[in-house]
Amino acid sequence: MELSKVGLAPATSMFMHSPNGREKTDDFRPSVHDSDGLLMINGRGERLWRPLANPSTLQVSAFMDNSPQGFGLMQRERDYANYQDLEAHYEKRPSLWVEPVGNWGPGAVVLTEIPTQSEIHDNIVAFWKPAQPLAAGSEYRFSYHLNWGAQPEANPQAITVSRTASGRADIAKPTPKRLFVIDYQVQGAKPAQMPEPKVRSNAGVISNVVLRDNPANNGYRLSFEFDPGEVTLAELRAELTLQEARPVETWLYRWTL
């Protein structure tokens, strides 16, 4: 019998809340999580950043790829002030970067987000799933390096997502419309020209896309509004385009009601 459900290089973590998704939280701590995002570098060299969420219902996302360069659950927020926890010290939790050795072929990085109301439960799972089932009686070899640390995958030239926050877009009255704010940090010298932002969604309406300099972190701040309308799930994607050759992370997010 073939093995159709297999997860290679699996990792688990915990995410309860952060500035992105505090509307269901009654907690004195601004953030509670062991990891705040899934980082992927796909086979084409594209850097993808997917902020984690604590959804109302089970969510499983599959990021199709061919021979990934790496993926892992990252803890990027390292400031104690954003946790305020004298016991757990989430700002010191390590990140884990999986670096495949050789060609893993087609498949997907799978992210599972499980609803939780307690930080004692690991509710985040990430792994690689081959596109084809593993046949009975056959032999398969997959090699990879596990890299632990504060930032085990660091590119000195990359422009990376440092923070994702969201909240009500309509101040006067409650509506389903959401405001997203994404901070990008520039490693090294800042580009001479402002990047061009592009935000897309497979459902709902994107509006008021604004990119500005962020002197607080030598980077940029991207903001936009998202009106889901009648949908209960949408895939969001934000990109910054530069005229110079430089790695810039693509921001991905699954919004759920």
**Which residue's entry shows tokens 């994607």?**
237
Residue 179 near residue 169 (C-beta atoms within 8 A):
yes
Residue 146: per-residue pLDDT? 98
In this structure, is residue 2 part of a structural domain? no
In this structure, is residue 154 part of a structural domain? no
Residue 181: per-residue pLDDT? 98
Cα separation, 12 vs 94, in Å, equals 12
105 and 164 belong to one structural domain: no
What are the structure tokens assigned to 168, written together? 């009500």
In this structure, is residue 82 part of a structural domain? yes
Phi-psi region of 229 (alpha: psi -120 to 50; beta: other; left: phi over 0): left
**CATH number (domain holding residue 216):** 2.60.40.10
Residue 224: per-residue pLDDT? 99
Per-residue pLDDT of the chain in tens (257 residues, 90 and over written 9)? 899 999 999 999 999 999 987 777 899 999 999 999 999 999 999 999 999 999 999 999 999 999 999 999 999 999 999 999 999 999 999 999 999 999 999 999 999 999 999 999 999 999 999 999 999 999 999 999 999 999 888 788 899 999 999 999 998 888 899 999 999 999 888 999 999 999 999 999 999 999 999 999 989 999 999 999 999 999 999 999 998 889 999 999 999 98
- Domain of residue 215, residue span: 159-256
Residue 32: per-residue pLDDT? 98
Residue 25: per-residue pLDDT? 85
Residue 13: per-residue pLDDT? 99
In this structure, is residue 21 part of a structural domain? yes
84 and 112 belong to one structural domain: yes
34 and 134 belong to one structural domain: yes
CA 58 to chain centre: 17
Residue 21: per-residue pLDDT? 79
Nearest in space to 126 (alpha carbons), one of 171, 68, 76: 68
Helix (H, G, I), strand (E, B) or coil at 79: coil
Query: How many structural domains compose the chain?
Result: 2
43 and 67 belong to one structural domain: yes
Residue 219: per-residue pLDDT? 96
Cα separation, 109 vs 72, in Å, equals 10
In this structure, is residue 164 part of a structural domain? yes
Residue that terminates a domain, selected from 119, 149, 179: 149
In this structure, is residue 235 part of a structural domain? yes
Residue 220 near residue 253 (C-beta atoms within 8 A):
no
Residue that terminates a domain, selected from 149, 176, 207: 149
37 and 83 belong to one structural domain: yes
What is the pTM assigned to this prediction? 0.96
215 and 238 belong to one structural domain: yes
Residue 155: per-residue pLDDT? 85
